[in-house]
C-alpha cells in the first residue's frame, strides 16, 4: 500500500507527501482520529516511502498486472522483512514474548526498549529507520517514558509514528513531543470502495454503509453480524442475552462488535423516529441512553453487559410505544 492507494484521506496524505518531499521529518508523529479510517495503513505507507527507491514522495503503489514490480525496499516492507521498519502491535509484542497476540493488553517497557535499540543501530547507506506504534494509547507509563528519551534525542533519520484513536490517554509528555496529524471519518464513497477492494459482497456493503460512521472496521464488524437486525429485537425476548453471548471472548474483539451493535441500534431508531414506528421524544431518550452506553464501553465497561442493557432498553421502548392505547 502506498499513500496514493489510500482513499478518503487527502488532507493528511498531502501533509505526509510534503514531509517526504522536503525530508523534514519530525522524530515523532501522532496519527489520531476514529478507528478504521486508515491511520495504521497510512503510517506504514509513510514509513515505507522514506526508503522507497522510486525517488517519489511516496512508496511504490500496490502492484497490478502489467505494472512494474515494487522496488526492493518496498517489496521487503510488504513482506514485513524490512530490518529498518518495525510495526509494533500486539502481534509484534506477542512474538517477542512468545505469548499469544490476543493476550497483549498493553505495550510494555521491554517492547519499547527493544524498538529503541533497533532504531539506534546504524542502518546501511543512510536509510531511514522507522517504528509504527499501533494503538499507542496502550503504552504503559514506563513504556512511554522509555520512549521519551528517543523522542528528545533522536538518532538521525529515525521516526516514531504513533497511531491511536484515543490520543487523550497518551502521556502528555509523549503527546507534546509528537507532531499531530488528524484523520477524519471516511466519506461513504471511500468506505464503499475499500469494502469492494476487500471483497465484501455489494449487498452486504449496501446494508452497512449508512451505519458505519465512516469507519471500515465498523462496517466489517457490522457486515459480520447478519443476524443483528434491531427490528427483530423487540419481538425476541431472548435477544439481549443471545446477542451478549454472541460477542467474542477476547475483549479487544468484543468491544468493536458491541460498539457496532449500539451504532446499528441507534441508526435503526433514527430511521423509525417520527415514522409510524415511534414518537420522537421517547426515541430521543433512548438515543441518549445508547450514547451513554457507548461512553461506558470506551471507559472499559463489560461489552456483554452494555449490549444486554442496550437491547433491553430498545425492547422497553417498543413495548411502550407499540402497546395498544
Q: Which residues bind Zn ion (CB under 5 A)?
A: 52, 54, 60, 71, 74
CB 40 within 8 Å of CB 12: no
Which residue lies nearer to Zn ion by CB, 52 or 139?
52
Which residue lies nearer to Zn ion by CB, 50 or 216?
50
Which residue lies nearer to Zn ion by CB, 84 or 135?
84
Distance CA 167, CA 144 (A): 13
Q: How far is the CB of 48 from Zn ion (least distance, A)?
A: 7
Distance CA 21, CA 300 (A): 41
Q: How far is the CB of 77 from Zn ion (least distance, A)?
A: 8
Which residue lies nearer to Zn ion by CB, 58 or 308?
58
Which residue lies nearer to Zn ion by CB, 15 or 71?
71
CB 29 within 8 Å of CB 40: no
Rg of the Cα trace of the chain? 22
* Residue 69, CA distances (Å) to 52, 64, 65, 78 in order: 13, 9, 9, 12
Which residue lies nearer to Zn ion by CB, 74 or 112?
74
- Phi, then psi, of 295 in degrees rounded to 5: -60, -45
Q: Which of 97, 77, 75, 99 is nearest to 87 (CA)?
A: 77
DSSP-derived pairing of the beta strands 129-133 and 28-32: unpaired
Q: How far is the CB of 53 from Zn ion (least distance, A)?
A: 5
DSSP string across 144-172: HHHHHHHHHSPPTTEEEEEEES-GGGS-H
Q: How far is the CB of 86 from Zn ion (least distance, A)?
A: 18
Q: How far is the CB of 89 from Zn ion (least distance, A)?
A: 23
Q: How far is the CB of 56 from Zn ion (least distance, A)?
A: 8
Distance CA 1, CA 177 (A): 28
Q: How far is the CB of 26 from Zn ion (least distance, A)?
A: 22
* Residue 39, CA distances (Å) to 3, 34, 221 in order: 11, 9, 18
Q: How far is the CB of 63 from Zn ion (least distance, A)?
A: 11
CB 310 within 8 Å of CB 316: no
3-state SS class at 86: strand
Q: Which of 9, 63, 73 is nearest to 36 (CA)?
A: 9
Amino acid at each position: 500500500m502506498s499513500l496514493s492507494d489510500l482513499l478518503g484521506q487527502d488532507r493528511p496524505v498531502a501533509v505526509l507527501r510534503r514531509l517526504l518531499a522536503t525530508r523534514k521529518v519530525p522524530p515523532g508523529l501522532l496519527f489520531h482520529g476514529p478507528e478504521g479510517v486508515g491511520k495504521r495503513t497510512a503510517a506504514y505507507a509513510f514509513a515505507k516511502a522514506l526508503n522507497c527507491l522510486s525517488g517519489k514522495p511516496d512508496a511504490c503503489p500496490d502492484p497490478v498486472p502489467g505494472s512494474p514490480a515494487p522496488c526492493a525496499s518496498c517489496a521487503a516492507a510488504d513482506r514485513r522483512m524490512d530490518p529498518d521498519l518495525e510495526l509494533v502491535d500486539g502481534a509484534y509484542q506477542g512474538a517477542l514474548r512468545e505469548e499469544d497476540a490476543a493476550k497483549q493488553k498493553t505495550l510494555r517497557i521491554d517492547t519499547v526498549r527493544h524498538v529503541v535499540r533497533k532504531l539506534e543501530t546504524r542502518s546501511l547507506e543512510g536509510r531511514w529507520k522507522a517504528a509504527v506504534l499501533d494503538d499507542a494509547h496502550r503504552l504503559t507509563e514506563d513504556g512511554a517514558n522509555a520512549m521519551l528519551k528517543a523522542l528528545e534525542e533522536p538518532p538521525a533519520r529515525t521516526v516514531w509514528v504513533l497511531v491511536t484513536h484515543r490520543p487523550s490517554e497518551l502521556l502528555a509528555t509523549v503527546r507534546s513531543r509528537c507532531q499531530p496529524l488528524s484523520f477524519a471519518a471516511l466519506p461513504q464513497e471511500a468506505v464503499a470502495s475499500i469494502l469492494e477492494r476487500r471483497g465484501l459482497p455489494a449487498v452486504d456493503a449496501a446494508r452497512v454503509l449508512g451505519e458505519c460512521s465512516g469507519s471500515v472496521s465498523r462496517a466489517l464488524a457490522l457486515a459480520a453480524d447478519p443476524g443483528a437486525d434491531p427490528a427483530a429485537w423487540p419481538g425476541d425476548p431472548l435477544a439481549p442475552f443471545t446477542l451478549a453471548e454472541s460477542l467474542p471472548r477476547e475483549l479487544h474483539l468484543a468491544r468493536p462488535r458491541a460498539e457496532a451493535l449500539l451504532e446499528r441500534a441507534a441508526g435503526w431508531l433514527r430511521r423509525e423516529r417520527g415514522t409510524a414506528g415511534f414518537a420522537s421524544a421517547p426515541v430521543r431518550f433512548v438515543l441518549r441512553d445508547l450514547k451513554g452506553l457507548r461512553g461506558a464501553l470506551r471507559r472499559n465497561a463489560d461489552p456483554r453487559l452494555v449490549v444486554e442493557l442496550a437491547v433491553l432498553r430498545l425492547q422497553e421502548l417498543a413495548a411502550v410505544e407499540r402497546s395498544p392505547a
